[in-house]
Amino acid sequence: MPLTSARFSLAWKRLSVCLVGAALAWGGVTAAEAAKPRKVSAAKPSAAKPSARASAKAVSAKGKSARTASVVDRRGRRGQVAALAGGRPGRSRGHSVVRAAPPEPPRLSYGQIAGLHAVADPLDLKSSVALVVDQDTREILFSKNGSAVLPIASLTKLMTGMVISESRLPMEAPITITEEDVDTERGSRSRLTVGTTITRGEALHLALMSSENRAAHALGRTFPGGLTAFIERMNQKARALGMQQTRYVDPTGLSSLNQSTANDLAVLASHAYHDPLVRGYSTSPSYQIDTGTRVVQYQNTNRLVNNPQWEIGLQKTGYISEAGRCLVMQTKVAGRQLIMVFLDSAGKFSRLGDAERVRRWLEARTVMGSIGPVHLSKPG
């Protein structure tokens, strides 16, 4: 039969279908599946064999630990896993994985490192160091690691206040906050912006009541002779009071090198209590200042000053991670004038809780009669 043009065209179409079917069968895909519409996505892997250039890129990628490896499961779906062993999953952006920075482990206080929290006490205090002294008789009623030398954080400002008060500098003199007063060591916050001008008395009030770091630093910076002379005066005063285990390197307490013991701090608190300016400013419940652009309200960092169950004549709180939560107070409990010191307390409000425990213990002890002083310390 002669091969006409129409028959040739039909034969060619049939041959083409056979060839396509054979190719699909060779690739593991049926003609029916090939006929189904498919969505094309750049995120899905190609069924074709990778080129030599693509293979080279894949080999190069294996040597980079910060990249992610593509994983294709049996269903053909694509996922991503971190190439680094033990890596943490992060949020995916396109084909890359952004890992969240691992959280920093909590920084241990010096007391925790020294094992001072392992010393048990009958009151189950959360502070690794505690001291209760009768201010009039100097009798030690309770002592736990009282001679341990630790960072004292903003308890430093009690000495700052005493040096300023005893210097007899004019309290109405203006002091301007500068860049030098900004905390670059810990990045602590302050509502006293650079350029704010307040009086020396206002700065002292904020330093003792609200533990204002820029105010405390400005007091030392503007002292006659500058910051170096002020710190030297702080250490001279400590030696004059017999605080042999105490050292100051700044007027704020932000440095962990400001160190002392509960025994030394009790001496400081007892002397500071007799300074009317320090006593009044430290126990002020609240205070507001006019910065020139706005009125700023400050509160006392020790909530016990507003508690009617407490009669507090002097107080100061402190905290940096190396020191833990700290508190020193002069107070009246069960008819006795007392000095209380709590250092390295574990927990935001635990130092206040420890003060409450001691108060209840002393009140119960008074009702039951004297049971003798308590002295506890870490062996060795």
Cα-Cα-Cα-Cα dihedral of 169, 175, 178, 183, to 10°? 60
CB-side exposure of 166: number of CA atoms within 13 Å?
Answer: 15
Instruction: Indicate if the pLDDT at residue 41 is higher than 50.
Output: no
Identify the pLDDT of residue 192.
96
Instruction: Indicate if the pLDDT at residue 236 is higher than 70.
Output: yes
Instruction: Indicate if the pLDDT at residue 324 is higher than 70.
Output: yes
DSSP symbols for 336-351:
EEEEEEEEEESSTTHH
How many residues are there in the chain?
380
Beta bridge mates, 297: 288
Return contacts of 276-282, CB within 8 angstroms, 24+ apart: 277/161, 277/165, 277/204, 278/158, 278/161, 278/162, 278/165, 278/208, 278/314, 279/313, 279/314, 279/330, 281/161, 281/204, 281/205, 281/208, 281/209, 282/158, 282/161, 282/208, 282/209, 282/314, 282/315, 282/316
Q: Give 168 or 56, the one with higher predicted confidence.
A: 168
Q: Are strands 324-333 and 336-345 parallel, antiparallel or unpaired?
A: antiparallel
The whole-angstrom separation of Cα 85 and Cα 65 is: 9
Residues marked active site are found at 154, 157, 211
- Helix 213-221, helix 156-167: angle, nearest 10: 40
Q: What is the mean pLDDT of residues 36-43?
A: 44
| Weakest mean pLDDT among 44-48, 156-160, 344-348 | 44-48
Binned at pLDDT 50, 70 and 90, residue 34 comes out as very low
Strand ranges for the chain from DSSP E: 68-72, 78-82, 91-93, 96-98, 127-134, 140-144, 150-151, 174-176, 197-199, 259-260, 286-290, 295-299, 312-320, 324-333, 336-345, 374-376
Domains of the chain, start order = 110-376 (3.40.710.10)
Condensed to tens digits (0 to 9), the pLDDT of residues 308-323 reads 999 999 999 999 999 9
Which tokens hold the place of 213?
């770091």
Residues 6+ apart with CB under 8 A from 12: none
Binned at pLDDT 50, 70 and 90, residue 212 comes out as very high
DSSP 36: S
Cα-Cα-Cα-Cα dihedral of 8, 11, 17, 23, to 10°? -90
DSSP symbols for 59-102:
HHHHT-TTSEEEEE-TTS-EEEEESSTTPPP-EEETTEEEPPPP
Beta bridge mates, 256: none
Name the residue among 174, 118, 128 with its Cα closest to residue 151: 128
Q: Are the C-beta atoms of 340 and 107 separated by less than 8 Å? A: no
Q: What percent of the chain has pLDDT over 70?
A: 72
Identify the pLDDT of residue 108.
94
Q: Are strands 78-82 and 68-72 parallel, antiparallel or unpaired?
A: antiparallel
Binned at pLDDT 50, 70 and 90, residue 94 comes out as low
CB-side exposure of 97: number of CA atoms within 13 Å?
Answer: 19
Burial of residue 337, with CB atoms counted within 10 A of its CB: 0-12 exposed, 13-18 middle, 19 or more buried: middle
Identify the pLDDT of residue 40.
40
Instruction: Indicate if the pLDDT at residue 25 is higher than 80.
Output: no
Binned at pLDDT 50, 70 and 90, residue 42 comes out as very low
Q: Distance from CA of residue 362 to its chain's centroid? A: 33
Binned at pLDDT 50, 70 and 90, residue 83 comes out as very low
In which region does residue 374 sit, left (phi positive, over 0), alpha (psi from -120 to 50) or beta (all else)? beta
Q: Distance from CA of residue 305 to its chain's centroid? A: 25
The whole-angstrom separation of Cα 299 and Cα 44 is: 60
The whole-angstrom separation of Cα 338 and Cα 336 is: 6
The whole-angstrom separation of Cα 87 and Cα 95 is: 17
